[in-house]
Amino acid sequence: MSYKEFAEYDAEQTGGIKDSFSSIITGLGEDVNREGIQKTPERAAKAMMYLTQGYTMNAAEILKSAMFAEDYNEMVIVKNIELYSLCEHHMLPFFGKAHIAYIPDGHIVGLSKLPRVVDVFARRLQVQERLTHDILECINDTLKPQGVAVVIEASHMCMMMRGVQKQNSTTTTSGFRGQFEKIETRNEFLKLISSDLS
């Protein structure tokens, strides 16, 4: 399925997830019939379906929908792309920023498509390491550039709200292909994403 705005919910699927949330809420000791909770199972079901809509999207098709032949072969960077995802281990949020660069090899892509690719993979149950890899490989395989670089910086609620409860920790993951495997190109990218050019 190609990219489309997620605005409709499958009634049967929503009903099943709603029932599951009702059981969870009851199992936690809350009264699912209490006024403030009555609509929570349905809201939670729709929220979860929205937050995992990436399973119904095709990131490669998103890129292909806006690829243009262009004789440009210098670095293109889109940085500070906000991302929100759910940790597959605890289903708690992690959030942060992605920085993406590529060096075209005959084709460029519409700039808005790179954040959309991030959303496709972020809106699934994820670990940050695989999220980084998924974005990197999708761009590399689809656009076939001279090189691709992806860096993600994120904070994980599973570390902040439970477990070690470290409030100021962040996790950084990175991936490089092609020209970005060369140290000078990689360093240029890392310098540019860490600088404030405004």
- Same domain for 82 and 154, yes or no, is yes
Catalytic residue among 30, 38, 70, 89: 89
pLDDT surpasses 90 at 122 = yes
What's the whole-model pTM score? Answer: 0.89
Q: Which of the 8 DSSP states describes residue 87?
A: E
Question: How far is CA 29 from its chain centroid?
Answer: 33
Asked if 109 and 143 sit in the same domain, the reply is yes
- Answer whether residue 4 shows pLDDT above 70: no
88 and 132 fall within a common domain: yes
Catalytic residue among 90, 137, 146, 153: 90
- CA 44: distance to chain centroid? 20
Residues 6+ apart with CB under 8 A from 55: 123, 124
- The number of distinct structural domains making up the chain is 2
The one catalytic residue in 30, 70, 82, 88 is 88
Is 88 among the catalytic positions?
A: yes
Helix (H) or strand (E) holding 56: none
Domain around 46: 11-51
**R_g over Cα of the chain:** 20
pLDDT (average), residues 1-30: 79
- Residue 85 pairs with which residues in a beta bridge? 94
Catalytic residue among 99, 126, 156, 179: 156
State the average pLDDT over residues 94-99: 97
pLDDT per residue as tens digits for the range 39-90: 999 999 999 999 999 999 999 999 999 999 999 999 999 999 999 999 999 9
| Residue 89 bears catalytic tag | yes
3-state SS track over 89-106: CCCCEEEEEEEEEEECCC
Q: What pLDDT, on the 0 to 100 scale, is given for residue 1?
A: 40
Q: Does the structure show a pLDDT above 80 at 9?
A: no
**Is 84 in the same domain as 47?**
no
Q: Taking residues 101-123, report their average pLDDT.
A: 98
Is 158 marked active-site?
A: yes
Helix, strand, coil share of the chain (percent; to 5):
40, 25, 35
Alpha-carbon gap, residue 169 to 159, rounded angstroms = 8
If asked whether residues 134 and 189 sit together in one domain, one would say yes
